[in-house]
Amino acid sequence: MKQQLLNLVKMEKAELQNYMERHGDTLFPYMLTHLGTIDSELRDQLIYQAFCKLITYDLLREEQLAQAFRLIISDEYLMRGIEDGESDEVFTRSFSTLWLTGLFWIDKQKPFLEQPMRNDAFERCATYLLKERDTRGFVEDKGWAHSIAHGADLAAMIVDHPLIEKKLIPVVLEGITSCFWKGRVYVDDEDERLVAVLMTLVTAEYEEEVLIEWVEQVFDRLEQKTRVDGYDRSFYHARTNSLQFMKTFYFALKKSHRTPNLRNTVAFFVERWQNA
């Protein structure tokens, strides 16, 4: 099957369409079954790349899309082993978020989901970053887990979906805050992927006052931590993550020429906490 996938990712649209008409009912279920394999070549370079080509060229039938969506949103995929901390199951979760990002992208362009399923999926996806505990980026011999970055990509997609319920936005923001406190200092551009969620909201003209309040709450949590536990290791990790995020956020806001009050709030807290 690896060789078939290797051939597939090299195909042009017409050849790929013909191939899927003949073999798609066998190949696509195989891709779904192995989307989280620890074989990085099969997972990243073949299965995920093949999936990207199939959705880009619109070569998956609606029933295939719906079948994939129902499976990936389940506990066996998106939430598989999410309470376990570091384990190989992170690859299934992390790549489920990437597949869901693609499937939601299709649903935005050409809706294929029934509204009850879509709403349930929004709620599950909104809590993903809050629940994820495995913060590893690159895993030796197994490739990129990167569950926080991939979860951020999914979060950016759902907050931009025209049919999402606005009550879920605070849940997503809470999930982003939780990422600062998961015990690891991020070094693999997680901050930029998380900032993309906020910039999606800014571009969509989400209430600036709510985002300002969220920024204030991020730093209030640091303040509360010092009062209760002092300046322990977990504080410094969270402080580093929070500041790195806010610096990236500030420059993204500056480049966008939007929400000056929000930008000024971010700048104020960065300056205040820079030497704390």
Give DSSP secondary structure letters for 193-210: HHHHHHHHHHHTT--HHH
Q: Please calculate the CA angle 113-155-68 and round it to the nearest 5 degrees.
A: 35
**Residue 273: both structure tokens together:** 């906490």
Per residue in 142-160, pLDDT tens?
Answer: 999 999 999 999 999 999 9
Distance of CA 134 to the CA centre of its chain: 13
On whether the CB atoms of residues 154 and 195 are closer than 8 A, the answer is no
Per residue in 160-206, pLDDT tens?
Answer: 999 999 999 999 999 999 999 999 999 999 999 999 999 999 999 99
pLDDT given for residue 276 in this prediction: 67
Closest CA to 152 of 133, 172, 170: 172
Contacts (Cβ under 8 Å, ≥6 apart) of 143: 40, 43, 44
| Number of Cα atoms under 13 Å in the Cβ half of residue 16 | 21
Per residue in 32-71, pLDDT tens?
Answer: 999 999 999 999 999 999 999 999 999 999 999 999 999 9
> How many CB atoms sit inside 10 A of residue 141's CB?
6
The label of the residue with tokens 């979906």 reads: 161
Rounded to an integer, the average pLDDT of 127-131 is 98
**DSSP class of residue 46?**
I
